[in-house]
Structure 1
Amino acid sequence: MKILLVIGAGSFIGGVGRYLLSQLIQSKSLTQFPVGTLVVNILGCFLIGVVFGLFTKGTLSDEWRFFLVTGVLGGFTTFSAFSGETISLLQGGQYWPAIIYVLASVLLGLLATFLGLWLVKLA
């Protein structure tokens, strides 16, 4: 039961953080391209890499890993919003922006995760 509360608290923090940061970034954008969600997902991938790196070094306990990865970062990053925004772009006939969004999300997300992991290994 304790782990569920830890994950739930982290999910709340991550979900609210995702919404606020995504909205802030999107409000500053001059395009309908989902920049806010893209930035949040890439940042989340980087942070997951950092946390995984810390966990493999033995710096974090299982409870912290559940709180940070499953809770905070699971709530912070959002594949469902990514999917919905991609479908909206496609339904609107915006095929190239949709393709760019999918490729950027996947490739930059993976790169950011590796970068986070690599930076922790350097420390």
Structure 2
Amino acid sequence: MKNSLAVISGGAVGASFRGALGTVLNGSPIATFLVNVIGSILLGFFYQHVKSNARLSDPSKKFIATGLLGSFTTFSTYSLDLLVYLKEGRFLALGLYGGGSILAGILSVILGVSLAKKVRRL
């Protein structure tokens, strides 16, 4: 029950952050791109932190990873954005947005892991 409440609570926070960023950027695909990059950095950081810090409770892990970051990142919206570009025949945008998001996501996770390792050394 604690894990479920943690996911629900984290989800409310993450979805609110995502909605706020989307509102600020007028629902632009750039908002989705930023959410995925920021979320990937945070998830990479969290992954590395948890891997080297077993003291974090299970509900805390669920709150952050599944709830907050799971509702903040928007892969489903990303996929829909790609479909719209495809249907509109905007192939350059499709390639840049699709490939750029994947590359930026991978690099962002690497950055998050690296940042967590540096913070741990402090």
1:22 partner SS:
helix
Distance 2:91 2:28 in 1: 12
Equivalent residue, structure 2, for 1:37: 32
- TM-superposed CA distance for 1:65, in Å, is 1.2
**Paired residue total:** 118
Q: What fraction of aligned residue pairs are identical, expressed as a percent? A: 33
TM-score with structure 2 setting the length: 0.90
- TM-superposed CA distance for 1:50, in Å, is 1.0
* Mapped contact 1:53–1:117 kept (Cα < 8 A): yes
Q: How does 1:104-119 map to 2 (within 5 A)?
A: 104-119=100-115
Pick aligned residue for 1:99 from 74, 95, 114: 95
Equivalent residue, structure 2, for 1:19: 19
For 1:34, give the aligned amino acid.
P
Q: Structure 2: where are the runs of 5+ without partners?
A: none
Structure 1 segments, 4+ long, off by >4 Å, are: none
CA RMSD of aligned residues (A): 1.5
- TM-superposed CA distance for 1:19, in Å, is 1.2
- TM-superposed CA distance for 1:120, in Å, is 0.8
Equivalent residue, structure 1, for 2:51: 56
- TM-superposed CA distance for 1:23, in Å, is 2.3
Deviations 1:34-86 (A, max 9, x none): 10110011000000011112101215332211110100000000111001111
* Mapped contact 1:46–1:114 kept (Cα < 8 A): yes
TM-score with structure 1 setting the length: 0.90
